[in-house]
Structures are given as C-alpha cells and as structure tokens.
Copies of this chain bind each other. A is one copy, B any other.
C-alpha cells in the first residue's frame, strides 16, 4: 500500500507535495514550529483540498492549514507527524468588480496582491496589516484580522460577503454570495471566520472592497492622555472633507526607543507626553485634505486634546512617522519579551494602562511595559520586557495584563488569535456557556479532532 506522500502526489501532483528537508526549506514565518511537520501538500483547487481532507480523515492524519505563516500565536504550528496543507498555490484573484466593489479570490492570495489589484480601481480591501505581503486572505479570514483601518472599514469578518470552505469531513461548504444582504438561515460561515482552521479550511472568499482616498496626510500628535486623544479623534472623524484612515497609538517608551533606533531623535523629543497618536487623513485633493487636517489639529491643540503636533510635509516624513509605529526596535532592544494583544473599552484606556503598568512594576521592578495600538478600537499591543529574556514567566505576567478586562467588556485576545498561546487564557476568561458551545461545535464538525488539532481549545 502506498504511503501517504505517494497518495498525496496522486491527488495533487509531484509539484504539490514536499517532504522532509524540502518542507524545512519553506519560509518558516513567525512561529518556531510552523515547519515541524515532515510533509506538506499544496493543492491547486478546492476539489483537491477536499480530496486531501477526505484522505487524511480516512487515514487518521492531522492537518494544519497554513496561509502566510505570519500569525504569532501559534495557530499554524505543526507537530512532526501532522500534514501541512498550504494554500499557497491557490492564489488567483478570480473576479474583481469595481462597480459592485467585490472580489472573488482564492484563499492563498496575499493581502498585498489584492491591495494592488484593487488599487487599480482606487479601491482597497479595507484591511491593512504590517505583514501584508505574506499574509493570505484565507489566513486573515481564519484569524479575523483587524489592523490599522478596522475602525473605519471593520475587521475581516465585516469584509467577507461569501465563503467557501472544506469541512473536516471533506465536504464543501459553499456560500459564495456576492451580495451584502443574504439571510438564508443560520450564517454558519461565520463559525469558520476566526476559527483558525480548526473547523475547516477556507478555500475561496468574496470580499467587499471600499473606496480609497487618493491622497493621505500623516501627523504625529502628542497627547496628555488617551481620553484627550479620543476627543481629538472624535474631532477629526467629524471634520467635513476629511476621511480619517488611521489613529495609531504609541505610548512614550515605545516612541523613544523606536525613534532613537531609527535615527529619528527629533521625533522623540518634540513634545513630552504620555502618548502619541499617528493620525492619517485621506482625501482626493491633497491640498484640501492638508488644510482641513491642519485646521482640525490646531483646534485640538487649542482644546488641549493635543499638546503639540508634527505634520509630515512629504512622503519621506510620512514614512518616518510610520516607521515609529511599525518598526520592531523594542523587540530588537529587548529580545525574549512577552507579547500581549488586548482590547480595552475606550473610556477605560487611561485607567487600564495605568493599572496594568503598576501591576507589572509591582511584580518585578526590572520589567518594562511598552504599548502601541489602534486607538479607535482600544486595541493595545503590549510587550513586557526585561534586560534578559523572560519568556519563561509568561504565565505569571499574563494575568497582570488580563485582569479586569472581561468585566469591563474588553478582551484578552484582540486580533492575533488564540492559537496555542492563549488557550489557557481563553479557558480562564471565556464565558463558560460560550466555551461549552465551542466544544460542542468542534465535536460536531470534527469528531475525530484532525483539523488543526490542539489549537484554540485546550485538549
């Protein structure tokens, strides 16, 4: 009897299968165990995916679906005897209708490729993340990706009109609706969105596209508090003629380390404040946007919502501002730190940051808290660092960050997913009724537990 690899070659062709060292030659992405499996298959069609899933089910082989491997919570991590099912050969943009503002794409299309195709029609997918050139649409659906534009266009869940997925039993769930309104009973495709591949494999999707302003202007505002920053945000959102595209937050420690690491010291010292917001506004006429933006920012300074502000005068300055937000200088300076990804109701931002920082300092005075985030979503990316790596104290530190979030309507898991890393937190902070339902649904769809096993729910 042929071994699994040979049968996969029968299904997907010799080019569609990699073993052993050829698996390790792939880009490992952002988690150390992404390529621990010995075998990987690269189907080219939904039918091939379904055939592979059916084969694996009959053979009792665990499948780990992989997109761009840019997740950092371990959702794509593999064990040696599991099979990687990569969507990387399904990367066609099948249709893009600029008037209907929809695109039908295969799951392996990268966000960057879709952004490029949409830009030809002055449209955007409405999601933007740093890993845009590696992250795939299928992976972003499976993690319900958010990013910097979510406050304006929604998270991935809001961008998905239609979805096709191969379920753990090898059947195809086909709901490739092209329309915004389709109420045909329970919207079961929503279960697949954010399930991190544990309930099936997303193979194709219909995405909503949105109009995009032709020009963008960025500004860095120093704010006396998150409450003040929110007042400025509200002001900018309400300003006629401005489309606010980003409101990225950086608390001061992050700004200082990142600015210095990038030779941008002037941006670390233009104004002393606890936090800084990178506002970006868009419009079709650059001069008009700039004028409206400048006026609104000046009004915010006048109202003490902003201490001082630097407006990028050109593309080079705009790139510098974004580097402050996106560069990983803090991680280079403090390797081996702990990453957290939380959501905080906006009214509680200042109090939450203060309490969290106090708890960490009380726990270990050598620990430092760095915070960046997406202001309008209350989504904070918190890193806890120390002079030497502290990965081994994750379980001690996590409660210092998560305590009290659930009670105020926040979340210990904003946009990076549960994967392996946050399973214990989900068990601890999740609603018991919801957790019970999740387990029942997992058992219903995947009774053998072969679809991305061990992820999201603790065994």
Contact = CB atoms under 8 A, between A and B. Distances in A.
Interface of A: 97-100, 102, 122, 143-144, 146, 150-151, 154-155, 157-158, 162, 167, 171-191, 193-195, 199, 206, 211, 230-231, 233-234, 237-238, 240-241, 283-285, 288, 343-347, 374, 377-379, 408-418, 426, 429-431, 433-435, 437-438, 440-442, 444-445, 456-457
Contacts of A442: 186
Contacts of A284: 238, 240
In order of increasing CB-CB distance, the 8 nearest A-B pairs are A178-B409, A190-B190, A182-B411, A179-B343, A100-B346, A181-B414, A178-B345, A240-B284
A202 to B, nearest CB: 14
B411 A177 contact: yes
Copies held by the complex: 2
22 contacts: A99-B234, A100-B378, A144-B183, A146-B180, A150-B180, A155-B180, A157-B187, A167-B433, A173-B433, A179-B343, A179-B410, A182-B343, A183-B418, A184-B418, A184-B430, A184-B434, A185-B430, A185-B456, A188-B438, A189-B434, A211-B237, A441-B441
B412 A184 contact: yes
A435 B241 CA distance: 46
A185 B99 contact: no
A191 B437 CA distance: 11
A185 B426 contact: yes
A144 B412 CA distance: 27
A193 B187 contact: yes
Contacts of A167: 433
A396 to B, nearest CB: 22
Contacts of A193: 187, 190
A414 to B, nearest CB: 4
A182 B412 CA distance: 8
B431 A100 contact: no
A8 to B, nearest CB: 24
A144 B182 CA distance: 9
Contacts of A378: 100, 179-181
Contact of A194 (B180, B186, B346): B186
Given A178-B409, A179-B378, A179-B411, 20 more contacts: A99-B230, A99-B347, A144-B187, A150-B180, A171-B433, A174-B433, A175-B431, A178-B408, A179-B379, A183-B411, A183-B414, A184-B411, A185-B194, A185-B457, A186-B437, A188-B438, A238-B284, A240-B285, A241-B241, A440-B444
Contacts of A285: 240
Contacts of A438: 185-186, 188
A437 B347 contact: no
Nearest to A182: B411
B240 A409 contact: no
A40 to B, nearest CB: 26
Nearest to A206: B409
A184 B434 CA distance: 10
A81 to B, nearest CB: 25
A106 to B, nearest CB: 16
Contacts of A377: 179-181
Contacts of A172: 433
A187 B183 contact: no
Contact of A154 (B154, B174, B411, B412): B154
Contacts of A230: 99-100
A434 B191 contact: no
Nearest to A97: B347
A412 B185 CA distance: 11
A100, A408, A418, most chain B CB atoms within 10 A: A100
Given A122-B238, A187-B194, A285-B240, A180 B97 contact: no
Contacts of A374: 181
Contacts of A430: 184-185
A233 B283 CA distance: 18
Given A284-B240, A438-B188, A183 B409 contact: no
Contacts of A445: 437
Contacts of A408: 178
Nearest to A237: B211
A400 to B, nearest CB: 19
